[in-house]
Amino acid sequence: MPLTPIQTILVVDDDAMVRNYVTAVLANTGYQVYTAGSGERGFVCFMEHADDIDLVFSDIVMPEMNGPEMVKRILSYRPEVKVLFMTGYHALGLMENHPGCGVLQKPFTKDLMLSSIQRCLRA
């Protein structure tokens, strides 16, 4: 049976506790993970590893550049990359006209995060 290739996720969140938790869970589950603490840094990280990244898992509200702005730039370069947003804010209506597999409301459980990411990667 062929081995499943390791999938790579870019995690972008300005909250270091959230970023570190998500990164640890994903790495322990077998994903390759890149991280960034802002939209600007997330875009730079994406461009450095663009061919490797399968999914961008990003906070919506961040300083410098918010998640949807960063994703718009990313998708202009690689429109096929998968996107899943997360937020601690009420997201109803916030994501209209923004591509992606949906919004994960913070706080979320490990199981909900992993199932949402897996569903997005399969989409």
Residues of the chain by 3-state class (helix, strand, coil), percent to 5 = 40, 20, 40
> What would the pLDDT profile of 33-82 be if each residue is shown by its tens digit?
999 999 999 999 999 999 999 999 999 989 889 998 999 999 999 999 99
> What would the pLDDT profile of 13-26 be if each residue is shown by its tens digit?
999 999 999 999 99
Domain boundaries, the chain: 8-122
CATH number of the structural domain 8-122: 3.40.50.2300
Structure tokens at 74: 């990313």
